[in-house]
Amino acid sequence: MTTGTRTRLSPAERRSQLLDLGVRLLATRSVDELSIDMLAEEAGISRGLLYHYFGNKHDFHEAVVRRAADDLIAQTAPPASGDPIQRLAASMEAYLSYVENNYEGYLSLVKGAVGGNDTLRAIYDESRAALTDRIFSEDAQGLLIKDTAVTRLLVRSWSAMSEELVLAWVADPGDVTRERVLELLTSSLPALVAASGE
Amino acid sequence: MTTGTRTRLSPAERRSQLLDLGVRLLATRSVDELSIDMLAEEAGISRGLLYHYFGNKHDFHEAVVRRAADDLIAQTAPPASGDPIQRLAASMEAYLSYVENNYEGYLSLVKGAVGGNDTLRAIYDESRAALTDRIFSEDAQGLLIKDTAVTRLLVRSWSAMSEELVLAWVADPGDVTRERVLELLTSSLPALVAASGE
């Protein structure tokens, strides 16, 4: 460990550090608002060096959004063992925290993906698919939900519901507590599966 | 009633007829693909006359999308009386039919609204709010769902879920039957409300 403000990093480590900074900047601004100039200023390095790492603005945005999506998938991983509902609850708590902490960037990813930006769409679809697949792969015995064509459609729809619920609540919590939102997120999937009769 | 192919219509009737034609054209194309030229050709009238009715391309798109949203709200109105679940089922059947019959236009409305087109956003938000409010106004006694801050959030989220479910299924039905989709759409709201404990 080096404790100084300057550390000697490999190019890969330096690039990774810059991506983390880019993701942090997305907490309070949209992908479109994130510029190489801004990152250069925050990182205290030249624009030229940033272009060395990221090529052009499009590649820069893609790399930052991909890192943000990877962070979302990593942070929402359920605990390795435990009761299925408690594992789901832990994952949903992490999802809510992620959206709270990265609101502007996450919202711009959703908007850009649905609105027709092909790069954002691809990353969004991949991360949605990863999160959906995980519901099934983490529950390979089907304790919470069996893997059928109907439950696949249901989990995909429930993801859209969870996204709307969290984005709407973070934008305007009104009288609804955070704890209540977590209860709604966690109870909804088992309730939908039970109602479907699958 | 006039039975000939040419009827003498008032300007308001003529405009309304042209909007209906515009909505029909949205069944198989996006809002962006819908042009005044195309409508003129389909209607067999001059572009000049269409500009007389709709001003410019932006106003034309806005008028057609507004008509499409009004059609959606009108067509999905539940029957005036009956069992709450049966009324909900009838409304969801009409919603599914609407999306099936107007797929491209509806999809482009959703994409445009989420993607940042302000006009489409406003129309989309208004129709979403109208559909959501109707869940509560049609059930003023709270037989199906009480009106609380939590259930408002829940119904809004369930709308997003229903939209995703229907759009995903129409795009790729796989092994899931239409009847099964209707069951999922209708059973999901009561299940979510019951699970929420509201």
Chain B residues closer than 8 Å to A149 by CB: 174-176
Percentage of residues in chain A with pLDDT exceeding 90?
Answer: 64
Taking CB atoms and an 8 Å limit, are B180 and A156 in contact across chains? no
Å between A173 CA and nearest CA of chain B: 9
3-state secondary structure of B161: helix
> What confidence tier does A5 reach under pLDDT thresholds 50, 70, 90?
low
Q: At CA B17, angle to CA B42 and CA B62, rounded to 5?
A: 85
B163 contacts A161? CB cut-off 8 A = no
- pLDDT tens digit sequence for B53-90: 999 888 998 999 999 999 999 999 999 988 999 999 99
Distance CA A89, CA A183 (A): 8
Residue A9 has a pLDDT of: 83
Q: Closest by alpha carbon to A37, among A15, A5, A6, A60?
A: A60
Euclidean distance between CA atoms A83 and A139, whole angstroms: 11
Q: Tens of pLDDT along B158-170?
A: 999 999 999 999 9
Residue A7 confidence class, pLDDT cut points 50, 70, 90: low
Q: For residue A86, what pLDDT band results from cuts at 50, 70 and 90?
A: very high
- Asked if residue B95 lies in contact with residue B185, where contact means CB atoms within 8 angstroms, the answer is yes
ipTM here:
0.88
Q: Identify the residue among B96, B128, B131, B184 best suited for mutation to test binding to A, counting A beta carbons within 10 A and taking the highest.
A: B184
**Range A54-59 contact pairs with CB under 8 angstroms and sequence separation of 24 or more:** A54/A18, A58/A119
- Secondary structure letter of residue A117 according to DSSP: -
CA distance A149 to chain B (A): 6
For A160, name the nearest residue in chain B, comparing CA atoms only. B161
Q: Distance from A80 to chain B by nearest Cα, in Å?
A: 26
Identity of the amino acid at A131: L
**Cα distance between residue A176 and residue B150, in whole Å:** 6
Which tokens in the block code for residue A105? 């960037």
Among A82, A93, A112, A108, smallest CA distance to A162 is for A93
Burial profile B5-17: b = 16 or more Cβ within 10 angstroms, e = fewer: eeeeeeeeebbee
Interface touch B114/A116, C-beta < 8 Å: no
For residue B163, what are the contacts with CB-CB under 8 A and spacing of at least 6?
A: A160, B110
**Planar angle of CA A98, A99, A101, nearest 5 degrees:** 65
Residue B12 has pLDDT above 50, yes or no: yes
Work out the mean pLDDT of chain B and round it to a whole number.
Answer: 90
A185, A164 in Cβ contact below 8 A? Answer: no
For chain A, how big is the Rg over CA atoms in Å? 19
Q: What is the dihedral of CA A4, A8, A10, A15, to 10 degrees?
A: 50
Which pTM does this prediction carry? 0.89
Is A180 close to B150, i.e. CB distance below 8 A?
yes
Long-range pairs for A132-138: beta carbons < 8 A, 24 or more residues apart = A132/A156, A132/A159, A134/A73, A134/A77, A134/A78, A135/A189, A138/A78, A138/A87
Q: Which residues in chain B are contacts of A32 at CB distance < 8 A?
A: none
In total, chain A counts a number of residues equal to 198
With beta carbons less than 8 A apart as the criterion, state whether B78 and B91 touch. Answer: yes
Q: What is the pLDDT of residues A118-154, one digit of tens each?
A: 888 889 889 999 998 999 998 888 888 999 999 999 9
What is the rounded average pLDDT for all residues in chain A? 90
